[in-house]
Structure 1
Amino acid sequence: MADPASYRPKTGEIPTDPGVYRFRDEHGRVVYVGKAKNLRSRLTSYFANPATLLPKTYAMVHTAASVQWTIVGSELEALQLEYTWIKEFAPRYNLAFRDDKTYPYLAVTMGEEFPRVQVMRGERRKGTRYFGPYTAGAIRETVDTLLRVFPVRTCSPSTFKRAQQSGRPCLLGYIDKCAAPCVGRVSPEEHRQLAEEFCAFMGGEAKRFITTLEKQMAAAVAELDYERAARLRDDVIALRKVFERNAVVLAEDTSADIFAVHQDELEAAVQVFNVRAGRIRGQRGWVVEKVEDIEPPELIERLLQQVYGDERDDDDRIPRQILVPELPANVEELAEWLSELRGARVEIKVPQRGDKAALMDTVASNAEQSMKLHKSRRAGDLTQRSLALRELQDALDLPMPLLRIECYDISHVQGTNVVASMVVVEDGLPKKSEYRRFSINGDAARDDTASMYSVITRRFKNYLQEQQDRAEALAGPVEFEIVPTAEPAPRSKFAYPPNLVVVDGGPPQVSAASRALADLGIVDVAVVGLAKRLEEVWLPEDEFPVILPRTSQGLYLLQRIRDEAHRFAISFHRQKRGKSMTASLLDSVPGLGESKRKALLKHFGSVKKLRAAEVPEITAVKGIGPVLGQAVYDALQSAESEPAVNMTTGEILES
C-alpha cells in the first residue's frame, strides 16, 4: 500500500475553484472520482489523520499513488464531468448503486421487425420498452392476461424462424394468444400496432382501451351478436384485472419517482417507488458502501446521477417529479441537467404533507428493511469469500492478499480453431468486464503448452506496453488542468496485473506460464495449475502437488474460476468454429468466388445474419442471382443439421 504523504500535493498548489478530481493507483488506474465546489478544501480532507477516516476512505487513499484534478467553470459542468468519468473509468471506490437483487422487467422489443414481449433482467437494450420492475410471477400473470387482448409475439427467434419455415404457428397461435405474424396471419404493420397498443396500455392508458371495448360490447349487444359481446366482456374483465392490480395512491395525473434512504456509518440502502398515472408501477432498491462520510443530500445527488444518467431509449425513464427526503445542495443544477436529458422540465421536491409524504414514509420503511436483509446476507457471503481467499493464500504460501486472480484455459478440437480464455476474479467475485479471449495460430497452436506460453506472453506484454505508454504520457509533473470540457481517457486493454495466475492443467501448463512470465521479467505474480483428474494444485518446479481438502473453500473457489474459464473458452471456440465452417461451406459453393463471398459478408455484417437470411435476401446482394442464392442458402442450412462434436475428444455425439 502507498503512503498518502508520498503523493500529497502542497496545499498552496491546490486551487480553490470548483472541479473534478481523480485518484490513481500505482498502475495508473483511476480508483476514485469526485467533485467539489472548493478543490482545496475537499482534497486536503483526504490527507487528514488516518484514524479519522472511514475504513473505505482509508483503503482508497492507501491504494492510490497520485491525485489529479480538473478545474471547470460551474457546478453544472462539474456534475456532468464527474458522471462522464465515473461511467468511463468505473472506479473501484466510487458509490455503485447495484440492485439488491436482480429485478425482472416486462420488455417489448420495439426495435425488431416483429416486436416481442418477454421478461428481461440486467442491462437495458436500445430500442426496447421496459415496464416494471415486478416480481417474476406478477409479470407472467400480466402477460398471460394481456395476450388475450393484445396477441403480440412472445416466442424466441429460433421458434419464430422455425414457424416461418414450416408454415405452422406455435401453440399460442392456435389458442389465439399470438397473432402469428410468422405465418402471415397479420402483416408486420398490424403486428407492430398491436405491440404499440400493448405498450400504451402498460404505460398508463388502460382506461382508454377499457372504455373502447365497453362501447364495442354495447354495440354487439344492440346488434344481437351475443357471441362477440361475450368475447369482448371477457376482454374487459382481463384488462380490468391487470389495471386494478396496482392500487391508486396519488392523483391520476401524477408521474413521479419517490426515493428514500436508510444509512449507517458504512453503508446506505436506497429504495424508489415508480408512480405513473397515480399508480405504483415499479419498485427498486440499492445498497452501497460509502467511501466518504457524506450526508443524505450528497448521497441523493449521486444516486440521481447514476439512476438517470444512462442514455436509454425509454420515454418514461425520467418522470416530471422526483421526490426525495432531502434536497441536494446543487438542486437547481441537478434539475437543469435532468431536464436536458428528459427534454422537458423536471422538478425535484421534498414532500411535506399529504399522500406523497405518507407514501415517502412507506418507501423509507422499505429502505430500512432492505438494509437489514442486506446485512444478514452479506455477513454470510463475505465470510465465505474471505475464508476462501485466506485459505488459498495460506495453502500457496503467498505473501500478498489475493485481490485479483486471473485464470486461463485453452480450447480446441484435435488441434484446430485453437482459442484461449482469460477470466478475472476480484475480491472473490467475477469481473466480466475484464474477461478476454485469444485466437491462437501458427507454431503457438501446436500443443497446449505452446498455446499457454503464447497467451501469457501476449497478455503481459500488452500490460507492460501500456505501462510504458502511460509513463511516457505522464512524463513531467502535471498536477492539474483547466478545461472547458473533458474527453474521457481511452480505456486500457488490460487492467493492472493479478496477484495469482491460475492455468487449467498440470505441470506442463504451469511450467509454460511460469516461463512466459520469467522471460518478460515479471517476478511478483504467482502461478498455479489446477489438474482436472484429482483436482491437484501444482506449483512451478515442485515435484509434488498441493492437495487441498475436498471441503476447502479455497479449492472450491479455484474450481469455480477454472470452470468459468472453461465455459468462456468453449463459447468462443464454438463461435469461431461456426464461422470457419460457414467460410468453408461458402468455398464449396460452385460459382461463388472470393469477391462474391466478401460481398455477402459485407452486406449482412456477420455470419449469423447470413445464416438467418432467406433466398430473396441473399439474391439482393449485387452479383448473386437466383440459382447462386439458392445454392448459398442450401449450403448454410445443411450446416445447421450436422452432428454435435465433443469439444474435448472431437468425437461425434448422438443427437
Structure 2
Amino acid sequence: MPPLDSLPQGGVGPEGAPTLAEQVALVPTEPGCYLWKDAHDEVIYVGKAKNLRSRMFQYVNLTDDRMKIPLMMQVVRSFDYIVVESEHEALVLERNLIAQYHPYFNVDFKDDKSYPYIALTMSDVFPAIKYTRERHRKGTRYFGPYTDAQAARETIDTLRKAVPVCSASCAEWKRARRYLESHPDEAAVANMVLAKRGRPCFDYHVGRGPGVCCGEIDTVSYAANVRQVEQFLSGRRSAIVGELEGHMRDAAAALEFERAGRIKRRLDVIEGLDDSQQVMFSSEVSLDLVGIYREETISCACVFVVREGRTVRSSEFILNKGADVDEQELTEGFIKRYYDETADVPAEVDVAVELADAGLLGEWLGEKRGHLCRIHRPRRGEKSHLLELASRNARHALMRYMVRTGYADERTNQALLQLESALALDRLPLRIECFDISTLHGSFTVASMVVFTNGRPDKAQYRRFKIRAELDEANDFMSMEEVLGRRYSPKNMADGRFASAAPDLLVVDGGKPQLSAALHQLSELGLDIPVCGLAKSDEEVFVPWDETPVVLPSGSPSLYLIKQVRDESHRFAIAFHRELRTKAQTVSILDEVGGVGPKRRKAIMSHFGSLKRLRMASVEDIAAVRGVNGRMAQEIFDVLRAWEGERAQTAQE
C-alpha cells in the first residue's frame, strides 16, 4: 500500500470530477461486491453487501464504526462493483475476489504460503495418496490444510499401515498409471493386464502396498480400500473399525488365519492412534472449533478438528490483522479464507463471538458440505471449554511465530523510531517511565511507576507509592505532583535503586491537566525531561509544545507501545489500590470482634495469608490459630458470614 502522505486527503476527486459520495449515489441497491481502490488503481479492500449503495455510503459517510475505516477512506480514490443475484452469491464472489487481489485491508493469512494437504487422486483407475502443497486440481480430493508438515506425512505413513493404498510417489504406480491412461479400454481388466506387464514395487514386498503394480488387487477391492482411507481422513474411524472387524471375523470363520492376522494388525494401528488422542466429548460429535488470539496488528487462529468426539488434528494460522480490526470481522474473514481451501466441512463450526453473517456463512458452508452446517457460539459446557483451549493454543502459536521471525523486535524498533519522530525527542526513548494514579473518592490513593527499557517492561524497576497528602476527594493533579516530586527528588535521583539517570520519555496517564501538573513539578525540581500525556478516550498524545494533541496512526507500532506502557501502569496502580483496600477491610472486619486486638489480628492473617482464605475457613480452622479460642472463632465466623451477606445484598441492589 502506498504511504498516506503521498496521497491527497478526503474523498474528493480531481477538480471538476464528482466526489466519491456523488459516485456512490449512482450505485444500484442490489446485492453484490464492491472493490475500493487507491490512487494507483490497486484494490485495497473487497466487501459484499445485500444493498450495495447503502453499504458503500456507510464507508463514505464514516458511519461504519470500525477503527480501520477512517484510515482506509483517506487512501480510497475510486471503486468498482459487481452485481449478483443474491447475498449468498455475493459471499462466494467476495472470497474469490479476495483470493485474486489480496487486498491490504482484508483479513488474510500473514505469509500467504501454500499449506500442506493430504490428497487422493480420485480420477485415476487406482487412486493414490500423496502429500502435496499444490493448488486444488480437478479429480483430486484434498484433506486439510495442515500447518504441521511432519504431522501430515506421519498421518500418511500411519494410514498406509492400516489400509494398503498406493503412494503417488511410487515409480511402479506411475508406470501403471501411464499405461492405463493410454489404454482406457483396459481399465475394467486392469489387474489382469498389470499382472502380465508390471512388477512388484518395494512397498508391496514389505506389506504396505496393495499390489496394483503386479495385478494382485482388482479395481473393486482397491476402491473399497480407498473408501476406507476417505473415512479415516474425514474422521469417521468407527466405520473403518467396524468394517475391518467384520472382515476379520469372516476370514477367521473361513479358516484364513493369515488374512485375519493382517487385518488384526491394521486394527491395532488404528486403536493405537485413538489411544494417543484425548477424548474431549462424552458424545460422538463432529465439529470445528475456531479460537483466535490477537495482538495489535497480527493474530493467530487455531482450529480444533473434532470428529466422533475426538480431536483428530489442530492447525494454527497466522493472520495479517489483529486488534486493528474487530474480532467479529477477523473471525468472519478467517472462516471465509479457511473453508475456501478445505473440503472437510463439519456440521457445526464453533466460534467465540456472535457473527452478524452467521446464517449466510452457514448456508455457504452447508452448500460446500452437501448437508446443513451452522455457526455457533457456545457459552458453557464442553464446547466452551475446548474453545478456550483453542484460543490459548492460538496465543502460544502466535508467541512462537513472533519469536521465530523477530516480529516483536522489529515492531519495537519501529515504535521507538516513530515515537522519537512524532514527539520531537532528541534521542530514542530507550527508557520510558509512566505514572498513574488510582483512588476511591480520595481514599487509598496510590500511584504506580512502570519502566520500559528498550521497548520492553522492566519490572525490576517498577515502583509504587502511597500518596501522603490528605485528600477529601480525588485529586489526580495534586497526587501526580506529589509522586513526581518524590520520584525525581535529588535524593532518589542519586539512588542507584531508582536508576539515577532521568528517563528519555516521561508518560503520564491523562490529558492536558495531568500533563500541566507534571510540567509544573518538573519545573520546580529544575529538571528538563521530555514528557507527554496519553488520554484514554481518543488515544490522543498531549505534548507541551503544541495545543493540538498528536494523533499516532491507528495500528502503528508507536501507538501500540505507548498504550501498552499506559495500560501496564494502570494495571499496576489498580493492583496496589485493591491490595490496600483489602487490607483495610480485613482490619475493619476483625475489629468488630471483641477480644481481637492487633496481635491476634496479625496472627490470624499470618495463619491464613489472605482475607479470601479466612472467609473460606470453618470455625475449627479459625480456632486452630494460636491465641483464638472456640468462642472467639465462632464470633469471627459469624461476623464474616454477616459481612458477606451485606456485600451480596449490596450487589443485588
What TM-score, normalized to structure 2?
Answer: 0.50
Question: Structure 2 residue aligned with 1:301, among 332, 337, 354?
Answer: 332
CA distance in 2, matches of 1:47, 1:230: 66
Which residue number corresponds to residue 32 of structure 1?
A: 45
Which residue number corresponds to residue 210 of structure 1?
A: 241
Q: Any idea what SS the aligned residue of 1:38 has?
A: helix
The verdict on how the C-alpha distance between 1:66 and 1:115 changes in structure 2, with shifts beyond 3 A counting, is same
| Within-5 A mapping of 1:466-615 | none
> What per-residue deviation string (whole Å, max 9, x for no partner) do you get for residues 487-516 of structure 1?
xxxxxxxxxxxxxxxxxxxxxxxxxxxxxx
> What per-residue deviation string (whole Å, max 9, x for no partner) do you get for residues 568-606 of structure 1?
xxxxxxxxxxxxxxxxxxxxxxxxxxxxxxxxxxxxxxx
| 2:278 is aligned with 1:247 | yes
Question: Structure 1 residue aligned with 2:203, among 154, 167, 172?
Answer: 172
- Larger CA deviation: 375-384 vs 135-144: 375-384
What displacement does 1:350 show?
Answer: 0.6
| 2:219 is aligned with 1:188 | yes
The verdict on how the C-alpha distance between 1:85 and 1:201 changes in structure 2, with shifts beyond 3 A counting, is closer
- Give the AA of the match of 1:288: L
Which residue number corresponds to residue 317 of structure 2?
A: 286
More relative contact order in 1 or in 2 (CA 8 Å, sep 6+)?
A: 1
| 2:58 is aligned with 1:41 | yes
What displacement does 1:218 show?
Answer: 4.8
CA distance in 1, matches of 2:236, 2:303: 23
CA contact (8 A) 1:267 1:287 kept: yes
CA distance in 1, matches of 2:300, 2:246: 48
The verdict on how the C-alpha distance between 1:46 and 1:264 changes in structure 2, with shifts beyond 3 A counting, is farther
Question: Structure 1 residue aligned with 2:164, among 141, 148, 151?
Answer: 151
Question: Structure 2 residue aligned with 1:376, among 381, 403, 422?
Answer: 403
How many residues are treated as equivalent by the alignment?
377
What displacement does 1:358 show?
Answer: 0.9
What displacement does 1:67 show?
Answer: 3.4
CA distance in 1, matches of 2:226, 2:85: 46
Which residue number corresponds to residue 113 of structure 1?
A: 125
| Within-5 A mapping of 1:231-246 | 231-246=262-277
CA contact (8 A) 1:153 1:179 kept: yes
Question: Structure 2 residue aligned with 1:330, among 351, 357, 375?
Answer: 357
CA distance in 2, matches of 1:43, 1:318: 37
CA distance in 2, matches of 1:341, 1:162: 35
- Give the AA of the match of 1:375: M
Which residue number corresponds to residue 22 of structure 1?
A: 35
What displacement does 1:319 show?
Answer: 1.4
What displacement does 1:362 show?
Answer: 0.6
The verdict on how the C-alpha distance between 1:194 and 1:91 changes in structure 2, with shifts beyond 3 A counting, is same
CA distance in 2, matches of 1:35, 1:217: 54
Which residue number corresponds to residue 3 of structure 1?
A: 8
| 2:297 is aligned with 1:266 | yes
Which residue number corresponds to residue 135 of structure 2?
A: 123
CA distance in 2, matches of 1:291, 1:147: 40
- Give the AA of the match of 1:260: G
CA contact (8 A) 1:97 1:287 kept: yes
CA contact (8 A) 1:100 1:287 kept: no
CA distance in 2, matches of 1:225, 1:67: 71
CA distance in 1, matches of 2:248, 2:64: 74
The verdict on how the C-alpha distance between 1:119 and 1:291 changes in structure 2, with shifts beyond 3 A counting, is closer
The verdict on how the C-alpha distance between 1:294 and 1:114 changes in structure 2, with shifts beyond 3 A counting, is same
The answer for unaligned runs of 5 or more in structure 1 is 388-655
CA distance in 1, matches of 2:365, 2:382: 25
What displacement does 1:320 show?
Answer: 0.9
- Give the AA of the match of 2:356: A
CA distance in 1, matches of 2:399, 2:322: 20
| 2:395 is aligned with 1:347 | no
Q: Any idea what SS the aligned residue of 1:262 has?
A: strand
CA distance in 2, matches of 1:369, 1:100: 20
What displacement does 1:193 show?
Answer: 2.8
- Give the AA of the match of 1:2: L
Which residue number corresponds to residue 200 of structure 1?
A: 231
CA distance in 2, matches of 1:72, 1:200: 37
Q: Any idea what SS the aligned residue of 1:147 has?
A: helix
What displacement does 1:293 show?
Answer: 4.2
What displacement does 1:119 show?
Answer: 1.7
CA contact (8 A) 1:131 1:281 kept: no
CA distance in 1, matches of 2:250, 2:83: 69
- Give the AA of the match of 1:354: G
CA distance in 2, matches of 1:207, 1:184: 30
Give the structure with higher Rg (CA): 2
CA contact (8 A) 1:30 1:89 kept: yes
CA distance in 2, matches of 1:208, 1:72: 42
What displacement does 1:34 show?
Answer: 2.8
The answer for unaligned runs of 5 or more in structure 2 is 1-5, 14-18, 177-193, 415-653
- Give the AA of the match of 1:274: V
The verdict on how the C-alpha distance between 1:77 and 1:159 changes in structure 2, with shifts beyond 3 A counting, is closer
CA distance in 2, matches of 1:220, 1:113: 27
CA distance in 2, matches of 1:33, 1:281: 34
Q: Any idea what SS the aligned residue of 2:406 has?
A: helix
- Give the AA of the match of 2:390: V
CA contact (8 A) 1:7 1:66 kept: no
What displacement does 1:162 show?
Answer: 4.9
> What per-residue deviation string (whole Å, max 9, x for no partner) do you get for residues 396-433 of structure 1?
xxxxxxxxxxxxxxxxxxxxxxxxxxxxxxxxxxxxxx
CA distance in 1, matches of 2:351, 2:396: 18
Which residue number corresponds to residue 365 of structure 1?
A: 392
The verdict on how the C-alpha distance between 1:116 and 1:252 changes in structure 2, with shifts beyond 3 A counting, is farther
The verdict on how the C-alpha distance between 1:126 and 1:92 changes in structure 2, with shifts beyond 3 A counting, is farther
- Give the AA of the match of 2:346: P
Which residue number corresponds to residue 276 of structure 1?
A: 307
The verdict on how the C-alpha distance between 1:183 and 1:65 changes in structure 2, with shifts beyond 3 A counting, is same
- Give the AA of the match of 2:291: A
CA distance in 2, matches of 1:259, 1:381: 24
What displacement does 1:153 show?
Answer: 0.8
CA distance in 2, matches of 1:19, 1:162: 49
CA distance in 2, matches of 1:302, 1:344: 22
Give % identity.
30
CA contact (8 A) 2:10 2:73 kept: no
- Larger CA deviation: 60-69 vs 328-337: 60-69
| 2:351 is aligned with 1:320 | no
> What per-residue deviation string (whole Å, max 9, x for no partner) do you get for residues 325-384 of structure 1?
012123223323333333322211111111111110110101111222232234359959
CA distance in 2, matches of 1:27, 1:236: 61
User: What is the aligned-residue RMSD (CA, Å)?
Assistant: 3.9
> What per-residue deviation string (whole Å, max 9, x for no partner) do you get for residues 84-114 of structure 1?
4323433244221357986533322212222
- Give the AA of the match of 1:348: I
The verdict on how the C-alpha distance between 1:292 and 1:34 changes in structure 2, with shifts beyond 3 A counting, is farther
CA contact (8 A) 2:33 2:94 kept: yes
> What per-residue deviation string (whole Å, max 9, x for no partner) do you get for residues 149-192 of structure 1?
42211142644345779732221122221122122222334323
What TM-score, normalized to structure 1?
Answer: 0.50
CA distance in 1, matches of 2:32, 2:159: 51
CA distance in 2, matches of 1:226, 1:38: 69
> What per-residue deviation string (whole Å, max 9, x for no partner) do you get for residues 184-242 of structure 1?
22233432332222222333343343344445545655666654444343232123223
The verdict on how the C-alpha distance between 1:118 and 1:85 changes in structure 2, with shifts beyond 3 A counting, is closer
What displacement does 1:301 show?
Answer: 2.0
CA contact (8 A) 2:290 2:302 kept: yes
CA contact (8 A) 1:257 1:275 kept: yes
CA distance in 2, matches of 1:20, 1:84: 11
The verdict on how the C-alpha distance between 1:85 and 1:229 changes in structure 2, with shifts beyond 3 A counting, is closer
